[in-house]
Structure formats: C-alpha cells, structure tokens
Amino acid sequence: MHRFLSRKRIRHHIFVLNQVDHYRFNRASLINVGFLESSNDTDYIAMHDVDLLPHNEELDYSFPEAGPFHVASPELHPLYHYKTYVGGILLLTKQHYEMCNGMSNRFWGWGREDDEFYRRIKGAGLQLFRPSGIKTGYKTFQHLHDPAWRKRDQKRIATQKQEQFKVDRDGGLNNVRYQIESRTALSVAGAPCTVLNILLDCDASKTPWCTFS
C-alpha cells in the first residue's frame, strides 16, 4: 500500500487497528477508534480492509471532497456485487464521517456493519461516488480473506439474527467504549505506521452476541 500510494503521490499514514480483547471481532468499532485516535494532521480516512489489495493504479485515492468514495465498488470487488455494498475500501472526509456519527458499535462478528453504514450515508444526505473507467473488473483487487480462520465470527447468535438488519439510530462515534492497550509507531519498508492494540468494551445487556461460547 505504501508503494501504491507513494506512486500516486498520496500523503498517508497507515493505522493498524488490532483488537486484543476477548470479544468477537468488531470491525465498525475498530474503525471508530481509528478515527478518534488519528491525528489532526489527517483530513480524510480510508476505511481499508486488511485483506483487500488494489492492483490497478488508476484507482482514485485522492481527497473525497464531493462525498464518500467507494473504491471497492460492487462492479470491481471480487466477491460482493450488490448495489448497496460500501465495504472493503471506502474514503471519507473527517467531516462526512462525523456527519454519519461513525459506524454502529452493535455489530459483533463478521458482516452487516457496512450495510448499516450505507443507510447512515444516505441518512446524512451524502452522495456516494464510485470509480469509473476501470477496465480490470473483478481482477482489480486481490482478496485474501479466508473465513475458515475465524469461524466464530461467522455465527449469528442470540437475537443477533433479528437485530442485524435494524438501523442503529443512537450509537456510533458518540458511544464507542475502548481502551488503548498500546500504541507503537514504526516504519515498515518506509511506510509510516501506527499499530494500536485496542481493548473494546461491550454492554452485554444490549449486545449479548459480543461473546461466543
């Protein structure tokens, strides 16, 4: 990513958001934490799945002034092709992310958090943009995800099946609960990085599916 962005002359700092608590994976809360812990030197963020690598240098990673820019669009992502999909790689200005109140913290386990975020984008009155003129189709990205590694995060437990399709009108940036266990600044092959080891917190009375037994 550092070589890719440097060739495109995109100033960047890579935050690795590493969940180290005993709860199930919560991508949305980790992104909220990354947003809150990023410095004032950044004016926009890339919500960038670690398992998705761009192969086409024509992809635009520049400042998304007009509105959220979905780099990994359904026409290009190798796996997800439905029109409301906004996962994988999404660029937003910090102002636009705040207008959405970030992402919902209710999604423990794999999936659905970006579907809810699509509804937040629309609810905030923002227009979603996607790449045009990219001719590499489903070969635009390398997708490294293997669900067999984290089977517990694929499960839907307790009332999660019903709750996962609801819009969270209250939670987001305003109520994400966490601690930073450690913050490590390092350079990887010249890439400026910060690794955050994050302890998320869960209110089991509201989201009992944050644990899996």
Q: Can you give the residue ranges of every domain in the chain?
A: 1-200
Rounded to whole angstroms, the Cα distance separating 21 from 42 reads 27
Average pLDDT per consecutive 10 residues, the chain (213 residues; last block may be shorter): 95 96 94 92 93 95 97 94 95 97 91 90 97 96 74 55 66 95 94 96 89 74
Rounded to whole angstroms, the Cα distance separating 13 from 118 reads 25
* pLDDT given at position 212: 74
Overall pTM > 0.75: yes
Residue 50 tokens, joined: 């670690």
Contacts 24+ apart (CB under 8 A), 160-166: 160/108, 160/109, 160/209, 163/106, 163/207, 163/209, 164/107, 164/112, 165/112
Rounded to whole angstroms, the Cα distance separating 210 from 201 reads 9
Query: Hey, what amino acid is at 175?
Result: N
* pLDDT given at position 92: 98
Classify domain 1-200 at the CATH topology level: Spore Coat Polysaccharide Biosynthesis Protein SpsA; Chain A (3.90.550)
Instruction: Report DSSP state, residue 99.
Output: H
Rounded to whole angstroms, the Cα distance separating 102 from 121 reads 10
* pLDDT given at position 144: 85
Residue 204 tokens, joined: 């089991």
* pLDDT given at position 146: 67
